[in-house]
């Protein structure tokens, strides 16, 4: 078993500053926080923490592109009947579509759906592994967003606003709750491909840049510039840092600038990260049964599994070490064309890993504290798309973007298990009951983290901004 305490020398920054030979700890910290204190001078900083949290951490699995709800978690037998026909006009009138026309014909789902687990949560045959943890899931079929293209849709899902420039859910969480481990970023981003919006969907926006997501990249150097330059030994690096910090200490005596003290501690932390971070991302230190759980080893013990599976395991390790918010992006869910050969592949890359993550977290007692979220930036149309968006060429059938309803699921972190929430119409086109708008989703997630979404604000340009803007209601029905 790993021993995180041993592996990472957990010197808490506060302790370091207090114990530091310079004796300026409290001042340095106040300097660090000053910008935020200034911003929240109208409210006491923690007034938004008004109820006990159900979750301490979040793992947000974003299926980039938008999974098809009617092929995964929201069965629509009526589509068999409507297959090849246009939807009733009153349904599509005034609706925005990305590439198809409102008259496009309906296409049925070829998949078989069954209730799973004790609770009978329904999912399609594409998810044999996830079916084994069905009783942990809260499936929300009635999600709704404002945006129908990827750039804005991703931004809306992560920042509650369809344009660039706002802080993300992860950044707000870091701002609200801080970090549990000063030696690691509070907010880490893992991906197997780049979402179309790029860095703005892990940005801190107008919050301090300390809250932006830090990307852990695939490979031996998870963080940019983590490795010593070629030919520089650990011993030389140590000597250089000692010299830098020695000279900075001199400067501090002269200038008394608390920033210098902070910089000294950051160089120490950087040095520790150079060994702790590569250890942290080395999943080969996991026992074989765990690797198998995520599909990272096959029955014979040979390496297998997707980058996404690796990222799921990494997410668990990060959460275990006190990272507050782990954002995982999974590419390849934008099925405009050829959905029935592409979708099974997309699911195959995530099915076992998601199930593995949930059961692994549960076995370690971490699931209660960790909110796992799975979903895309929007859903897909019940109607077919048959032309390539780029060239107009005919393609094998796919489905277009759809914002009026889509499905996500959550697990752990204080949500009920084995629950299906919200109802869509017989086509999977619109919501009939219990709508959960993205703002409501954010309000609910923050609530689970012990945060009142109306009180977690930041004053910027004369306005108290919130993740939920002026909207959002907590969906108490899904909370255990």
Partner 1 sequence: MKNRWMYLLFGCFLLPAHFATSTTAVHAQPKSPSYNRDIRPILSGKCFKCHGPDSETREADFRLDRRESAIDADVIVPGKPVESWILDVVSSDDPDLRMPPKGDPLSSEEIALLRDWIKNGAKYEAHWAYQTPNLAKRPKVRNQQWPTSELDYYILNRLERANLKPAPKAEPAVLLRRLYLDLIGLPPSLEAVTAFEADPSPKKFKAHVERLLQSPRFGEKWATGWLDLARYADSNGYQHDDLRNMWPYRDWVVNALNDDMPFDQFTVEQLAGDLLPDPTHSQLIATGFNRNVPTNFSGGSKVPEVRADVLHDRVATTGAVWLGLTMECAQCHDHKFDDISQREYYQLYAYFNKAIPEFTQQGEGMFRKHFTGRDVVVYSSDAEQKKAQKLEEEIALEEKLIANLKALVGGDAIQSDFEDVVLLDFEGPDPFKNNTITRPAINSIEEDVPIDGGKFAAKTVAKPVTETKGFFGTGFSLPANDLSGSTEIRLWIKTDIASPFNLQIHNEGRRASVFEFSTMDTDPGKWTQIIAPLADFKKPQWSTGAVDWTRIRKFQITAFGNGPYDGKYIMLDNVAGATSSERALRLKQVAALREQLASLQVAAMTMQDDESPAETRIFKRGNYATLGVSVETGVLESLHPLDPEAPPNRLGLAKWLVDNNNPLTPRVVVNRIWGEIYGRGIVTTMEDFGMQGALPTHPDLLDWLAIRFVQDAWSLKSLIRTIVLSSTYQQSSSATEEKLEKDPQNEWYARGPRFRLPAELVRDNLLAVSGLLSEKMGGPVVYPVQPDGIWEEIPGADVNDYPTSTGEDRYRRGIYTVWRRGNPYPSMINFDVPNRSVCTVQRDRSNSPLQALTLLNDPVYVEMAEEFATVMKSWEGSDRDKVIRGFRVATARQPKEHEVEILMKLLEAQVSWFAVAQTLLNLDETITKS
Give residues 84-113 in contact with partner 1 (rule: CB under 8 A). 86, 96-101, 103-105
- 10 touches partner 1 (CB under 8 A): no
If binding means CB under 8 A, how many residues of this protein chain bind partner 1? 96
- 139 touches partner 1 (CB under 8 A): no
Cβ-contact 207, 172 below 8 angstroms: yes
Q: Residue 411's CB: how many other CB atoms inside 10 A?
A: 25
List the end-to-end C-alpha distance of the chain, in Å, as a whole number: 32
Cβ-contact 124, 111 below 8 angstroms: yes
Which residue number, 276 or 420, has a Cβ lying nearer to partner 1? 276
Stretch that binds partner 1, among 223-231, 303-311, 314-322, 472-480 (CB under 8 A): 223-231
* Of residues 303-342, those binding partner 1 (CB under 8 A): 331
Chosen residue from 9, 19, 23, 35 binding partner 1 by CB under 8 A: 35
- 391 touches partner 1 (CB under 8 A): yes
Rounded to a whole number of angstroms, the minimum distance from the CB of residue 211 to partner 1 is 9
- 386 touches partner 1 (CB under 8 A): yes
CA dihedral (366, 370, 372, 373) in degrees, to 10, reads 180
Which residue number, 30 or 118, has a Cβ lying nearer to partner 1? 30
* Of residues 392-431, those binding partner 1 (CB under 8 A): 392-394, 400-401
Which residue number, 31 or 119, has a Cβ lying nearer to partner 1? 31
- 240 touches partner 1 (CB under 8 A): yes
Q: Residue 292's CB: how many other CB atoms inside 10 A?
A: 18
Burial class, 118, CB count within 10 angstroms (exposed 0-12 / middle 13-18 / buried 19+): exposed
* Of residues 266-305, those binding partner 1 (CB under 8 A): 266-267, 269-270, 273-274
Cβ-contact 450, 396 below 8 angstroms: no
Burial class, 240, CB count within 10 angstroms (exposed 0-12 / middle 13-18 / buried 19+): middle
Stretch that binds partner 1, among 25-33, 49-57, 124-132, 422-430 (CB under 8 A): 25-33
Rounded to a whole number of angstroms, the minimum distance from the CB of residue 300 to partner 1 is 31
The angle formed by the CA atoms of residues 280, 286 and 291, to the nearest 5 degrees, is 120
* Strands 187-191 and 137-144, bridge-based pairing: unpaired
Closest residue by Cα to residue 406 from 172, 67, 126: 67
DSSP three-state, residue 285: helix
Rounded to a whole number of angstroms, the minimum distance from the CB of residue 194 to partner 1 is 4
Chosen residue from 251, 396, 432, 480 binding partner 1 by CB under 8 A: 251
Strands (E), 257-377: 325-330, 370-375
* Of residues 188-207, those binding partner 1 (CB under 8 A): 193-194, 196-200, 203-204
DSSP three-state, residue 234: helix
> What does the DSSP assignment read for 139-158?
EEEEEE-S--SHHHHHHHHH
* Strands 121-124 and 113-116, bridge-based pairing: antiparallel
- 447 touches partner 1 (CB under 8 A): no
Stretch that binds partner 1, among 42-50, 128-136, 298-306, 337-345 (CB under 8 A): 42-50
Which residue number, 124 or 276, has a Cβ lying nearer to partner 1? 276
- 15 touches partner 1 (CB under 8 A): no
* Of residues 335-374, those binding partner 1 (CB under 8 A): none
Rounded to a whole number of angstroms, the minimum distance from the CB of residue 246 to partner 1 is 5
Residue with the two structure tokens 């940005």: 203
Rounded to a whole number of angstroms, the minimum distance from the CB of residue 276 to partner 1 is 11
Cβ-contact 272, 238 below 8 angstroms: no
Rounded to a whole number of angstroms, the minimum distance from the CB of residue 181 to partner 1 is 13
- 376 touches partner 1 (CB under 8 A): no
Chosen residue from 80, 236, 298, 303 binding partner 1 by CB under 8 A: 236
Rounded to a whole number of angstroms, the minimum distance from the CB of residue 88 to partner 1 is 13
* Of residues 148-187, those binding partner 1 (CB under 8 A): 148-152, 163-165
Quote the CA–CA distance of 311 and 393 in Å, as a whole number.
36
Polymer length of the chain: 480
């Amino acid at each position: 078993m790993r021993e995180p305490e041993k592996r990472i020398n957990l010197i808490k920054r506060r302790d370091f500053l207090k114990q530091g030979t310079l004796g300026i700890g409290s001042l340095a910290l106040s300097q660090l926080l000053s910008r935020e204190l200034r911003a929240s001078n109208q409210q006491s900083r923690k007034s938004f923490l008004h109820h006990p949290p159900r979750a301490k951490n979040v793992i947000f699995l974003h299926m980039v592109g938008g999974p098809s709800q009617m092929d995964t978690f929201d069965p629509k037998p009526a589509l068999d009947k409507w297959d090849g026909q246009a939807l009733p006009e009153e349904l599509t009138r005034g609706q925005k579509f990305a590439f198809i026309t409102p008259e496009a014909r309906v296409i049925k789902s070829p998949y078989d759906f069954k209730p799973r687990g004790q609770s009978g949560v329904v999912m399609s045959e594409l998810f044999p592994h996830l079916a084994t943890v069905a009783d942990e899931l809260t499936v929300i079929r009635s999600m709704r967003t404002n945006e129908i293209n990827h750039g804005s849709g991703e931004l809306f899902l992560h920042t509650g606003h369809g344009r660039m420039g706002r802080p993300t859910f992860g950044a707000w969480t870091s701002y609200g709750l801080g970090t549990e481990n000063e030696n690691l970023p509070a907010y880490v981003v893992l991906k197997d491909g780049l979402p179309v919006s790029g860095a703005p969907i892990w940005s801190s926006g107008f919050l301090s840049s300390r809250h932006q997501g830090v990307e852990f990249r695939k490979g031996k150097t998870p963080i940019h510039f983590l490795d010593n330059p070629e030919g520089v030994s650990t011993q030389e690096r140590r000597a250089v840092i000692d010299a830098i910090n020695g000279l900075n200490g001199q400067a501090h005596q002269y200038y008394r600038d608390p920033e210098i003290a902070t910089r000294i501690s950051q160089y120490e932390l950087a040095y520790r990260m150079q060994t702790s971070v590569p250890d942290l991302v080395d999943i080969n230190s996991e026992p074989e049964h765990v690797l198998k759980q995520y599909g990272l080893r096959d029955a014979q013990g040979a390496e297998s599994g997707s980058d996404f599976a690796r990222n799921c395991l990494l997410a668990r390790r990060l959460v275990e070490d006190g990272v507050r918010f782990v954002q995982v992006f999974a590419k390849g869910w934008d099925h405009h064309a050829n959905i029935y050969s592409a979708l099974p592949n997309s699911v195959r890359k995530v099915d076992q890993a998601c199930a593995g993550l949930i059961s692994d977290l549960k076995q370690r007692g971490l699931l209660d504290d960790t909110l796992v979220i799975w979903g895309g930036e929007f859903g897909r149309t019940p109607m077919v798309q048959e032309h390539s968006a780029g060239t107009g060429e005919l393609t094998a059938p796919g489905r277009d973007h759809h914002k009026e309803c889509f499905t996500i699921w959550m697990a752990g972190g204080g949500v009920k298990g084995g629950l299906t929430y919200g109802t869509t119409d017989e086509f999977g086109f619109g919501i009939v009951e219990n709508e959960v708008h993205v703002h409501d989703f954010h309000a609910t997630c923050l609530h689970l983290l012990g945060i009142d979404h109306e009180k977690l604000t930041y004053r910027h340009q004369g306005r108290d901004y919130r993740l939920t803007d002026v909207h959002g209601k907590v969906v108490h029905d899904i909370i255990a």
